[in-house]
């Protein structure tokens, strides 16, 4: 099945609604969605980096502020 959306005619809000509808449908049966093995490796590496002090957390509002200030 080939589905084509009129993306050039859709508002940002329409596009976000379409994405949410797709995600809701895809995640109905999350048991069918299997993460690849490398996801576990990445999570373990990141947990170890936090535990060892190589990485730290930033509050979400602060992270958004920092990202918005970065030059493109």
pLDDT above 70 (res 38): yes
Predicted pLDDT at 12:
97
The average pLDDT across 50-68 equals 93
pLDDT tens digit string along 24-37?
998 888 788 888 99
Predicted pLDDT at 66:
92
Report CA Rg, the chain.
18
The answer to whether 57 touches 50, Cβ cutoff 8 Å, is yes
SS3 content of the chain, % helix, strand, coil (to 5): 65, 0, 35
* Residue ranges of domains in the chain: 37-72
CA-closest candidate to residue 7, choices 20, 19, 15: 15
């Amino acid at each position: 099945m080939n589905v084509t959306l009129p993306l050039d005619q859709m508002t940002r809000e329409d596009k976000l609604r379409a994405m949410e509808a797709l995600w809701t449908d895809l995640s109905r049966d999350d048991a069918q969605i299997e993460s690849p093995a490398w996801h576990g490796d990445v999570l373990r590496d990141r947990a170890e980096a936090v535990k060892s002090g190589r990485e730290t957390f930033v509050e979400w509002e602060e992270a958004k502020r920092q990202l918005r200030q970065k030059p493109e």
